[in-house]
Amino acid sequence: GFAVDTAFDGEEGDFKARSAEYDAVILDLMLPKVDGLTLLQRWRRDGLKTHVLVLTARGGI
């Protein structure tokens, strides 16, 4: 089976991503507080290697 955690803003998502080991993250670029692109850049800069599927309602990236 699978376990799913949710985060309702970028700060919470960042905390959870750094506090546990995940197989994958589904990341919305338009999160409140800290946007998803900033989170992804921070995670890669800091060496987090979790697979990330990026979703967005934006017209372009």
pLDDT one-digit tens code per residue, 4-61: 999 999 999 999 999 999 999 999 999 999 999 999 999 999 999 999 999 988 776 6
**Separation of alpha carbons 7 and 5, rounded Å:** 7
Q: Could you tell me the CA-to-CA distances from 9 to 1, 2, 51 in Å, in that order?
A: 26, 22, 19
Residue located via tokens 């309702």: 8
Residue located via tokens 């017209």: 59
Q: Are 26 and 58 in contact (CB under 8 A)?
A: no
- pTM of full prediction above 0.95: no
Residues 6+ apart with CB under 8 A from 4: none
